[in-house]
Amino acid sequence: MTGNMSQLFADDVWPFLDHLTDNLGPVVRLRGLFGARQLYVFDPKALQHIVLKDQDIYEESPLPLIFRRLIFGPGLFGTLGEHHRRQRKLLNPVFSIAHMRHLTPIFYETAHRLREGVKIQLQTSPAAEVDILAWMSRTALELIGQGGFGHSFDPLVRDEPDPYAEAVKSFMPTSVRIFSWQIVLALYVPFLFLADRYYAVRRVLAHVIPWLPHPGMHDMQVIVDTIDRTSREIYAEKKRALLAGDDDVQMGVEEMRDLMSVLLRANMEASAEDRLPEEEIIAQMSSLTFAGTDTTSNGLARILHLLCLYPDAQDKLRAELLEARNANGDQDLGYDDLVELPYLDAVCRETLRLHPPVPFIGRQTIQDIVLPCSKPVSGVDGSVITAIPVPKGTEVVVGIYSCNRNKDIWGEDAAEWKPERWLGDGVPESVTEAKIPGVYSNLMTFLGGGRACIGFKFSQLEMKVVLSTLLSSFRFSLPKDAGDDIVWVRAGVTYPATRNDMKKPSMNLKMELV
């Protein structure tokens, strides 16, 4: 009935993924729900065809696509084909390196408030246990708020409840609670999306959901309403500022470096065929917030956890950061200086290689096609296969985790965390020869092709600014007798928790001032 899905979607999926990676790959036949055909793929040549050459045939799986469009509207993560390409064409320049340079001071300002907030918490004890995931979640939302929309959701130096922040925080746990209802929606409402009637569906659901005997659906309705209302308010505020004729207001607009301001100006200046309607601009706000909050916060938490497990690496990274700051007159590092720090970059790359926040994603073929492999695979009858006929409707699981740990590409130490592999000539030639189609560092972490993560430079900058600020001020270590108490749980985005409460995201670390 469930096929291999109970293994693939288990909280503790890692032993199963390691089995696929080390014992079976690089293309494995799985079974989906009710025996559906499914392929788990991490062969680099096959991935080139899935995410690049034949990406229009390997489309997003319907279930998550429909759910995201219902929740966020027609944003970048809820559209396909030419519609998606048109949105991406307008959004791509917004994430340019030139804009990242403008955002760097904004990120530092948020990171400084984070540092002060943690210091206030530590005043009760010089070396206290801190739920670092909670801090990273608050910070990631504030970074996307300030850098993405020029709007503050969290002062960080004090606790101030914000409805939008609470909605963002509750979204992922609530979506897990209503997973079965997502399947029902995917079965019964897709025909409405053919005519782009998602807002009509929302209005109908708003009347139906209160009658459903499921508290999770009621909570999700509140979350969706809060997200939509706040996004529209911020959009209206930005649009008024941009359209204002007052000189003082216009001067302020010129200083608006956040992504939404840049996007609105670009949209106003775009040709008629490239311009996005208001509803799609608003949908981008919600989509980018959710795409960039949990991935960044949980990625930062993972790095800090690893630096606790490898204290020598933490000391080495701190020394690099302090030396760079001293050379810069004890001032924050500019964009170019920050991104060129070799060990900081190596720590980020190695963590995202070994522990991608999203370990796999789904695709589905819309027509029959042949999938070539760079390495022969064995058929169940013992035959050697170099190209696999893939029928229409086959579910294809892109094994991000497995590709990043493939020993044929990364060597026998592929499952080890070794930042040094990124320094000097540490990366083997087999990595570049494999021609992995990822958009970032020969990794599949941020995908590749037309649906690659559009904000990966934004995320990298966020992480490096926060790490440079925290590690220059604090020393991190595991709480006493923590042992293996911290576990990482597979979800929409992998999160840390304690072994005795895996449903609640949290991670306590010991922090003390340097």
Q: Answer yes or no: is 208 within a domain.
A: no
3-state helix/strand/coil string of 367-398:
CCEEEEEEEEEECCCCCEEEEEEECCCCEEEE
Helix (H) or strand (E) holding 474, with range, is: strand 474-477
In DSSP terms, which residues pair with 40 in a beta bridge? 28, 397
Chain centroid, CA 175 distance in Å: 16
* Listed residue (404, 432, 495) closest to 17, CA to CA: 404
Q: Is residue 256 part of a domain?
A: no
The CATH number for 124's domain is 1.10.630.10
Nearest by Cα to 118 from 469, 460, 486: 469
Beta strands at 395-398 and 37-41: parallel, antiparallel or unpaired = parallel
Mean pLDDT over 370-390 rounds to 91
Q: Do residues 44 and 435 make contact, with C-beta atoms less than 8 angstroms apart?
A: yes
Quick check: is 362 in a domain?
A: yes
What are the respective helix, strand and coil percentages of the chain, to the nearest 5?
60, 15, 30
Separation of alpha carbons 257 and 126, rounded Å: 38
Give the three-state DSSP class for 511.
Answer: strand
Among the ranges given (23-27, 275-279, 404-408), the one the predictor scored with the smallest mean pLDDT: 275-279
For the whole model, what pTM was predicted?
Answer: 0.92
**Residues 373, 26 contacting (CB under 8 angstroms):** yes
pLDDT on residue 185: 63
How confident is residue 195, by pLDDT bands cut at 50, 70 and 90?
A: very low
pLDDT averaged over every residue in the chain: 87
DSSP code at position 299: H
**260, part of any domain:** no
The number of residues in the chain equals 514
Is 453 one of the annotated binding-site residues? Answer: yes
- Cβ neighbors of 15 (< 8 A, separation 6 or more) are none
Q: Please, which pLDDT band fits residue 375 given cuts at 50, 70 and 90?
A: confident
**How high is the pLDDT of residue 201?**
66
Q: Residue 184 is which amino acid?
A: V
- Is residue 250 pLDDT above 50, yes or no? no
CA dihedral 263, 233, 150, 153 (to 10 degrees): -140
Residue 426 has which token pair?
Answer: 């540490």
The total of other beta-carbon atoms located within 10 Å of residue 367's CB is 11
∠ CA(159), CA(170), CA(125), 5° rounding?
35
Does any domain span residue 172?
no
Q: What gap in Å lies between CA 293 and CA 287, rounded to an integer? A: 10
Q: Domain range for residue 137?
A: 5-84+94-159+283-513
154 sits in which H/E element: none
Tell me which amino acid residue 40 is: Y
**Range with the largest mean pLDDT of 71-75, 289-293, 441-445:** 441-445
178 in any annotated domain = no
Let me know the angle formed at the C-alpha of 210 by 204 and 214, rounded to the nearest 5 degrees: 115
Is the torsion defined by CA of 148, 149, 150, 154 positive or negative?
Answer: negative
Confidence of residue 453 (pLDDT cuts 50, 70, 90): very high
Task: Answer yes or no: are the C-beta atoms of 34 and 42 closer than 8 Å.
Answer: no
The proportion of the chain whose per-residue pLDDT surpasses 70, expressed as a percent, equals 91
Closest CA to 220 of 235, 230, 205, 232: 205
Q: What's the number of domains the chain is made of?
A: 1
DSSP characters for 190-256?
HHHHTTT-HHHHHHHHHHHGGGSS-HHHHHHHHHHHHHHHHHHHHHHHHHHHHH---HHHHHHHHT-
pLDDT at residue number 187: 61
pLDDT of residue 280: 86
pLDDT at residue 130 tops 50? yes
267 within a domain of the structure (yes/no): no
Mean pLDDT, rounded, for 339-343: 96
Distance CA 138, CA 411 (A): 37
Of 274, 234, 275, 277, which Cα lies nearest the Cα of 256?
A: 234
Q: Which amino acid is at 487?
A: V
For the chain, the distance separating the N- and C-terminal CA atoms, rounded to the nearest angstrom, is 55
* Residue 317 domain-assigned (yes or no): yes
